[in-house]
Amino acid sequence: MGRMRIAITGSNGLIGKALVRSLTAEGGHEVVRLVRRPARTPDEVQWDPERQEVDALGLNGCDAVVHLAGAGVGDHRWTEAYKKEIRESRVFGTATIAQAVASLEEPPRVLVCGSAIGYYGDTGDRAVDESAPPGAGFLASVCEDWEAAAAPAHEAGIRVAYARTGLVVAREGGAWGRLFPVFRAGLGGRLGSGRQFWSFISLEDEVAAFRHIIDTDGLSGPVNLTAPNPLTNREVTEAMGRVLGRPTLFTVPPFALRVAMGEFSEDVLASQRVLPRRLLDSGFEFAHPSIDESIRAALR
């Protein structure tokens, strides 16, 4: 692909920062950041997802739009008010972007919307790919509404992909950003029974997968962003201890997680065995297919 102009929401988040860095430094592409304050530089466009407003003129001529913004699922305890914020930030934000790109004279070739493997709910030991239906629970219903909100872009003939991301192995943020200091201190251990599957992906592979979706013309609809071999929490715990050279003797019982996290603990203890069928079928190659490689990559 030649030099592209790509607009990104959520460019200050874990994935957004890494994607911007990759697109500009390695790809030589022009990145336009959507910001929630008045634009200060030519590479910024103002938007207000709560009011569902965006300066659509600033998106004209973009080859791709990547939508990553939304309230963090694990950032706060799940009060009813925060659950409402999680849902609305995703649904309103996606609807705003989808309507904006659908209205453009020069619409982008592709809209890549961030989503999550929470779509599948608790899959137990059963492996699922993109053909699986939505699961039960709060996050599954949020993901369903979140993806549905992109309908205006799809109806306008824009290629729309939903990047259903798993647990990103990174030091800078997300779930793993909290795990690293605990394991480094020798206080790491399995969560609950440890039998629940964790579908992980290295930050480098996550960014490469987003770029692959942008570049691959036929790739639309749901795309799972997870490494090819999900592992149980017990196996992930052992790998963290192995790579970091620390003991992993502790176990966090389910009741303690519920006290610390409230309703969100149910999703931490849920099992999600998710396979990246469409990425693999479209020729994507993982740089870090194993958990040990993903952990080492995060530490570099």
Q: Which of 222, 179, 196 is nearest to 74 (CA)?
A: 179
Residue range 265-275: mean pLDDT, rounded = 88
The pLDDT of residue 264 is above 80: no
pLDDT of residue 258: 79
Q: Which of 110, 114, 212, 210 is nearest to 156 (CA)?
A: 110
pTM, two decimal places: 0.95
Residue range 243-247: mean pLDDT, rounded = 96
Residue range 21-28: mean pLDDT, rounded = 89
Q: Give the phi and the psi of residue 138 in degrees, each rounded to 5.
A: -60, -50
Tokens linked to 208 = 């490469």
Per residue in 115-169, pLDDT (tens digit) is 999 999 999 999 999 999 999 999 999 999 999 999 999 999 999 999 999 999 9
* Contact between residue 97 and residue 58 where contact means Cβ atoms under 8 Å apart: no
Residue range 274-299: mean pLDDT, rounded = 98
Q: Which of 116, 164, 172 is nearest to 298 (CA)?
A: 172
4: left (phi over 0), alpha (psi -120 to 50) or beta: beta
Confidence of residue 1 (pLDDT cuts 50, 70, 90): low
Determine the topology of domain 5-299 in CATH. Rossmann fold (3.40.50)
Strands (E), the chain: 5-9, 30-35, 44-48, 53-54, 64-67, 110-116, 127-128, 159-165, 167-169, 189-191, 197-198, 200-202, 221-225, 231-232, 250-252, 273-274
Q: Which of 4, 16, 13 is nearest to 210 (CA)?
A: 16
Per residue in 64-83, pLDDT (tens digit) is 999 999 988 877 888 899 99
The pLDDT of residue 191 is above 70: yes
* Contact between residue 295 and residue 240 where contact means Cβ atoms under 8 Å apart: yes
- Look-up: residue for tokens 């069928």? 277
The pLDDT of residue 260 is above 80: no
Confidence of residue 280 (pLDDT cuts 50, 70, 90): very high
Q: What's the rounded Cα separation, in Å, for the pair 120 and 234?
A: 21
pLDDT of residue 148: 98
The pLDDT of residue 4 is above 70: yes
The pLDDT of residue 270 is above 80: yes
- Domain limits of the chain? 5-299
The pLDDT of residue 281 is above 70: yes
The pLDDT of residue 266 is above 90: no
Name the percent of the chain lying above pLDDT 70: 99
pLDDT of residue 185: 92
pLDDT of residue 263: 80
| Torsion from C-alpha of 224, 168, 197, 90, nearest 10 degrees | -60
pLDDT of residue 150: 98
Tokens linked to 125 = 């030991």
- The long-range contacts involving 244-248, CB below 8 angstroms and separated by at least 24 positions, are 244/183, 244/184, 244/188, 244/295, 246/183, 246/184, 246/185, 246/186, 246/188, 247/186, 248/183, 248/188, 248/189, 248/190
Mean pLDDT of the chain: 94
Q: Which of 189, 214, 210 is nearest to 201 (CA)?
A: 210
